Amino acid sequence: MMLSSAIFTPVSDAIAKDGEYGFLEGRSVALIHPIAMGALFIVAARTGFLGLKTKKIREIPNQIKYGS
């Protein structure tokens, strides 16, 4: 523990302490970023899922033709 304390800079108070970042600090508005990232993840996952389903549908004629 002492070695790691000597290597890294000492820890100070949080940068956003005492409202330095204005009205967004500690408010519900600050949840916009996590909600947006979650929504983007869900959209990307659904797009991937639909892409796999589309690929499977496109391969049906080959399965019928070659019987595999």
pLDDT 10s digits, 36-55? 999 999 999 999 999 999 99
Domain-by-domain residue ranges, the chain? 31-68
pLDDT band at 13 (very low <50, low <70, confident <90, very high): low
Average pLDDT over residues 9-37: 71
Record the tokens describing residue 27, joined without a space.
């408010």
Record the tokens describing residue 49, joined without a space.
């899922």
Distance, in Å, from the CA atom of 60 to the CA atom of 67, rounded to the nearest integer, reads 10
The set of residues, in sequence order, having a beta carbon less than 8 Å from that of 16 and lying 6+ positions away, is 25
Alpha helices in the chain (DSSP H): 2-7, 32-58, 60-66
Query: pTM for this one?
Result: 0.56
